[in-house]
C-alpha cells in the first residue's frame, strides 16, 4: 500500500491511499482545479479514484468533494450524520454508514472510528490491506479510550498535531475560535497527540505522519519538544505533512511481528 497527501491543514485536506487495484481519497477540501493540480503532481487524475471517504462536513474537508465526485463519477462514503448536515449532498453516488461501522472497498477493509469533534457524526478511519494496518486520525479535540483501542496495532499512523497550547493562547485568533480549537470537540494539541502516540507506540509501528499542523499556532520545534517529553530523545520515526505540499507517495511496509504482538493487536 502507498500513501500520499495533497494537503493537510485548515485551508484544505486530502489523503490518498492506494493498492494495485484501489485508490481512495480521504476528504477533499480544495477546489476542483486545485485538486486536479495536486493530484497531477502525484501522477493521478480524478478518473483514477475508486472512492472518496469523508470524515466530516467542515469545509476544509468537503469543499471539493461534490464537484470532484460529479466530474469523475466517484462514489462518496460518509456517515449518516455527515449526510444529515446537508453540506455534502450533491455527489455522484452516496454511500452512508454509522460511525463505527466497518466496510470493504475492493481489496481494502475499512473501519470507521467515531471521534469527538464539533460535527454531526465525525469519524476517522483505520484501513487494512493484507495484514497492513494504516490509521488516519485528525480533527478530534480529545482522546478517548475507544480511540486508543482502535488505533493500537497500526503499522503506520497519520496523526494530527494541530497546535501548541501556549501559542494558541497568545495568538491572534479571536477568543471564540481559541475556545473551539482548544476545546474537547476541537483539535489535538501537541501534548495530547504525543501522549496518544505514546499509548499506541509499539515495536510494529513503522512510521508516524504528522498532519493538520496549524500554521499560526504551532511549529516543528514545539511538536518535537512534545515528542521528546512523551517518547524520549530516541523517537525518530516521524515525518511532516504540510498545507502547501502535502506529502509525496510513501511506500507503507508491514512489520514482521512477534507472536506476542500479533495477539495484542488482534492479528
Give 69-80 pLDDT, tens digit per residue: 999 999 999 999
3 state DSSP class of 178? helix
pLDDT digits (tens, 9 = 90+) for 103-113: 999 999 999 99
Alpha-carbon span 253 to 84, nearest angstrom? 37
Average pLDDT over residues 133-143: 98
Give DSSP secondary structure letters for 58-84. -HHHHTTHHHHHHHHT-EEEEEHHHHH
pLDDT, position 129:
97
Q: What is the pLDDT of residue 256?
A: 62
Model pTM? 0.94
pLDDT band of residue 253 (cuts 50, 70, 90) is: confident
Q: How confident is the model at residue 267 (pLDDT cuts 50, 70, 90)?
A: very low
Q: Are 41 and 65 in contact (CB under 8 A)?
A: no
Q: What is the mean pLDDT of the chain?
A: 95
Q: Which tens digits make up the pLDDT trace of 157-189?
A: 999 999 999 999 999 999 999 999 999 999 999
Per-residue model confidence (pLDDT) at position 213:
98
Element (H, E) at 143: none
Sheet of 75-79: strand order equals 93-97, 75-79, 51-53, 23-26, 14-18, 2-7, 247-251
Residue 263: which pLDDT band, with cuts at 50, 70 and 90?
Answer: very low
pLDDT value at residue 60: 97
Partner residues linked to 109 by β-bridges: 104, 128
Name which of 94, 115, 91, 95 is nearest 103 in CA terms. Answer: 95
pLDDT in tens, 2-35: 999 999 999 999 999 999 999 999 999 999 999 9
pLDDT at 32: 98
Quick one: 86 exposed, middle or buried, by C-beta within 10 A (0-12, 13-18, 19+)? Answer: exposed
What number is the average pLDDT over the span 240-255?
A: 92
Residue 260 scores a pLDDT above 80: no
| Distance from C-alpha of 124 to C-alpha of 108, rounded to nearest angstrom | 15
Question: Are 52 and 74 within 8 A, CB to CB?
Answer: yes
Instruction: State the DSSP string of 200-248.
Output: H--TT--EEEEE---SSS--HHHHHHHHHHHH-TT---EEE-BTTTBEE
**pLDDT on residue 165:** 98
Amino acid at each position: 500500500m502507498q500513501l500520499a497527501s495533497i494537503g493537510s491543514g485548515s485551508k484544505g485536506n486530502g489523503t490518498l491511499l492506494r493498492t494495485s487495484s484501489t485508490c481512495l481519497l480521504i476528504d477533499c477540501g480544495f477546489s476542483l482545479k486545485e485538486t486536479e493540480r495536486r493530484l497531477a503532481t502525484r501522477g493521478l487524475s480524478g478518473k483514477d479514484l475508486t472512492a472518496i471517504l469523508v470524515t466530516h462536513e467542515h469545509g476544509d474537508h468537503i469543499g471539493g468533494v461534490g464537484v470532484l465526485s460529479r466530474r469523475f463519477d466517484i462514489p462518496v462514503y460518509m456517515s449518516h450524520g455527515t449526510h444529515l448536515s446537508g453540506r455534502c449532498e450533491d455527489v455522484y453516488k452516496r454511500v452512508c454508514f454509522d460511525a463505527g461501522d466497518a466496510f470493504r472497498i475492493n481489496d481494502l477493509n475499512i473501519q470507521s472510528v467515531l471521534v469527538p469533534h464539533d460535527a454531526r457524526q465525525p469519524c476517522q478511519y483505520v484501513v487494512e490491506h493484507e495484514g497492513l494496518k494504516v490509521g488516519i486520525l485528525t480533527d478530534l479535540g480529545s482522546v478517548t479510550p475507544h480511540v486508543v483501542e482502535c488505533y493500537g496495532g497500526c503499522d503506520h499512523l497519520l496523526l494530527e498535531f494541530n497546535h501548541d497550547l501556549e501559542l494558541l493562547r497568545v495568538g491572534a485568533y479571536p477568543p471564540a475560535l481559541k475556545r473551539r480549537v482548544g476545546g474537547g470537540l476541537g483539535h489535538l494539541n501537541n501534548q495530547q497527540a504525543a501522549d496518544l502516540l505514546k499509548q499506541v507506540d509499539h515495536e510494529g509501528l513503522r512510521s508516524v505522519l504528522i498532519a493538520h499542523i496549524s500554521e499560526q499556532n504551532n511549529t516543528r520545534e514545539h511538536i518535537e519538544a512534545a515528542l521528546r517529553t512523551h517518547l524520549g530523545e530516541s523517537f525518530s520515526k516521524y515525518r511532516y505533512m504540510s498545507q502547501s505540499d502535502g506529502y509525496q507517495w510513501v511506500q507503507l511496509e508491514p512489520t514482521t511481528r512477534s507472536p506476542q504482538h500479533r495477539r495484542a493487536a488482534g492479528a
